[in-house]
Chains A and B, each alone.
Chain A
């Protein structure tokens, strides 16, 4: 089945450590995105990528980094510079802008807790 896979589902990190969240898609989508969601709130865009080897900052990129070396993969690193990293992280993908399909497909999320 086609879809987006995020791993791990739960992640615990010690303060001061970097951690990388995985996102893989087999939908052949060019565009991929990372969101952060805090309890009871909506989604905020961290980074997005429209094509391999290119990515752009979203609304809350500080303390995060990404790479896009392959079309299928868009890993997110939460660095020690992120002041409040405990949150639910969601990855999504979509056809490029202008494509017929209009929906974004989301993964099941990774819940990161800093201990």
Chain B
């Protein structure tokens, strides 16, 4: 799997936007960018994924650089419930969803 690099930790204030960066300079043309998050003492949950275009869903937005070597997960208004570890993962098309490599991720702290 191609490698991703994320900051170890980030802080945000409640109700402010949060931009979580991910670098993936060795991404291949068939790699999708996936984000998961893991709340304390729980299993990870899917957040969003994309290939080339920016994506929006009810949880977050994903902004993908034009050269696809980096991406940013955007939480538009952070809440205390968004405090979690966020994982950026690359997964090639047509591979098993559960065989992704989960690195150490970014620990997001949300301050009231």
Q: Do A and B come from one complex?
A: yes
Contact partner of A102 (CB less than 8 A), chosen from B43, B44, B49, B103, is: B49
Asked if B98 contacts A93 (CB within 8 A), the reply is yes
A-B contact pairs, 6 of them (CB 8 A): A42-B105, A50-B96, A92-B43, A102-B34, A109-B43, A111-B41
A17 interface contact, C-beta 8 A: no
State A88–B30 Cα separation when bound (angstroms): 32
Would you give the shortest CB distance from A26 to chain B, in whole angstroms?
16
* B interface, over-half SS: loop
Which residues of B are found within 8 Å of A96, using beta-carbon distances?
96
Instruction: Identify the B interface with A (CB < 8 A).
Output: 32, 34, 41-46, 49, 87, 91, 94-105
How many Å from the CB of A57 to the closest CB on chain B?
12
Pick from A101, A103, A107: contact of B43, CB under 8 Å? A107
Having A42-B102, A43-B44, A104-B44, one finds 19 other A-B pairs with CB under 8 Å, namely: A31-B97, A33-B96, A42-B87, A42-B103, A42-B104, A43-B102, A48-B96, A90-B43, A91-B43, A93-B98, A97-B96, A98-B94, A101-B97, A102-B32, A102-B34, A103-B34, A103-B97, A107-B43, A108-B43
Interface size class of A (residues with CB under 8 A): 20 to 34
Residue A106 CB within 8 A of the other chain:
yes
Residues of A within 8 A of B (CB): 4, 31-33, 35, 40-43, 45, 48, 50, 58, 88, 90-98, 101-109, 111
Contact of B49 with A31 in the complex, beta carbons under 8 Å: no
